[in-house]
Amino acid sequence: MPHARFERRIADLLAEADVRIGGTRPWDIQVHDPRFHARVLGQGSLGLGESYMDGWWDAASLDGLLFHLLAARVDERVHGAGEIFDALRARLTNLQSPRRSGDVGRRHYDLGNDLYAAMLGRRLVYSCGYWRGAADLDTAQEAKLDLVCRKLQLRPGMRVLDIGCGWGEALKFAAERYGVSGFGITISREQADYARQLCAGLPVEIRLQDYRALAEPFDAAFSLGMFEHVGVKNYVGYFDVARRCLSGDGLFLLHTIGGSRSVQRTDPWIARYIFPNSMLPSAAQIAQAIEGRFVLEDWHNFGADYDRTLQAWRGNVESAWGALGSRYDERFRRMWRFYLAASMATFRSRRSQLWQLVLSPNGVPGGYVALR
């Protein structure tokens, strides 16, 4: 029977990752619906994520299960038919064009400030914390923001650009602690409204704007967790924008998730449910795009810290579900759990990295002293 064949095939693939169907270990999978096997074989990661959202399977440690699958690279053995179409579409179309750039703002960042306030901690900072010496999420996020400011050598009176400013926390921190004035852009209306209120009374301007429209001068610039939405077809244009906005002796800090291989699209499940039109850059893609535009002063990888950041986010949001609105129904909660757990697994398996690059237009005279 086809069903028996599908089940054997899935069991064999899981065994390669030391995962058992119906096993008793936290990372073993408990299958509730026999259609699970055919769905995963036919749809790959999309079928795995959607079937979890539909309640067809569970694991006591969801991140543990997904880590085992990624560490054994089982995901590279199963591809859904839709991935061929996605690959062709990414090659032939600019998925991150100005017309499409607002999609992720509307579908992800505008989900609701209540959700993000519950998840992200005291500061609404939606990027990796810096856990060296930090014991909790809030301390790790403050350490990250301070690290960014120190790497940029911020001083009172400087005018600073934040490309993809989120809820405005980084500019607020820089204005209060380092005496700078700030200018931030975002494509999320919810974020822009919140950031304006957060930074009220500070020399900070927030604008709802695509990065490509920037043409003003700044003494320093940074971008924290926005580059994942730019897309390889736009990398050169992105760095051209950063270069034209930066003074000749200014510094630009890029904080981005990165992948170990060059691709042109993201995982199908992530694209459909979490970050539409996103993709992770590779080191080679970034290096090619900055060539002739910037001098690379420093490249810092602290991707292992993202696993710990995500665990803290998960703990926060799981504690808060009961107090959040009914629009975050059970299927949404399972979707969000899968998103956070899959993200943990990618960093824990070192399939994804977190990079901070410091770039200068002409090279720092005498050399740049890297900070950690």
Q: Distances in Å between the alpha carbon of 88 and those of 77, 94, 147, 275?
A: 20, 11, 40, 19
Residue-wise over 185-195: b if at least 16 C-beta within 10 A, else e? bbbbebbbebb
Residue 266 Ramachandran class (φ > 0 left, ψ -120 to 50 alpha, else beta): beta
Residues of the chain under the 50 pLDDT cut: 1, 84-90, 92
Length reported for the chain: 372
Q: Which amino acid is at 71?
A: A
Instruction: Give the list of residues 6+ apart from residue 195 with CB closer than 8 angstroms, or none.
Output: 165, 166, 167, 168, 171, 184, 186, 206
> Could you tell me the pTM of the whole model?
0.91
Give the pLDDT of residue 101: 53
pLDDT computed for residue 369 by the predictor: 96
Strands (E) across 97-166 are located at: 159-163
What integer pLDDT is reported at residue 94 of this predicted model? Answer: 63
Residues 35 and 56 sit within 8 Å (Cβ to Cβ) = yes
CA distance 262 to 107: 26
- C-alpha span between 109 and 122 (Å, rounded): 18
- Return the SS3 of 148: helix
By the 10 Å C-beta count (0-12 exposed, 13-18 middle, 19+ buried), 20 is classed as: middle
Widest CA span of the chain, in angstroms?
Answer: 73
pLDDT tens, 193-209?
Answer: 999 999 999 999 999 99
pLDDT at position 170 is 98
pLDDT at 266: 83
